[in-house]
Amino acid sequence: MALGVCAAMLTLLATIGLLGQVVIAKHRAAAAADLSALAAADVVRGLSSGDACEVARQVAGKNGARVTECIASYYQQSVKVQTAVSLPRPFKAARQEAVAGAPEDPG
- pLDDT tens digits, one per residue of 36-95: 999 999 999 889 999 999 999 999 999 989 999 999 888 877 888 888 888 877 778 888
107 pLDDT band (50/70/90 cuts)? Answer: low
In this predicted structure, what is the pLDDT of residue 4? 86
Tell me the per-residue pLDDT of 8-25, one tens digit each, with 9 for 90 and over. 899 999 889 888 888 888
Residues 6+ apart with CB under 8 A from 11: none
CB 100 within 8 A of CB 37: yes
In this predicted structure, what is the pLDDT of residue 55? 94
CB 18 within 8 A of CB 52: no
d(CA 72, CA 48): 14
In this predicted structure, what is the pLDDT of residue 104? 67
10 Å CB burial of residue 83 (0-12, 13-18, 19+) is buried
30 pLDDT band (50/70/90 cuts)? Answer: very high
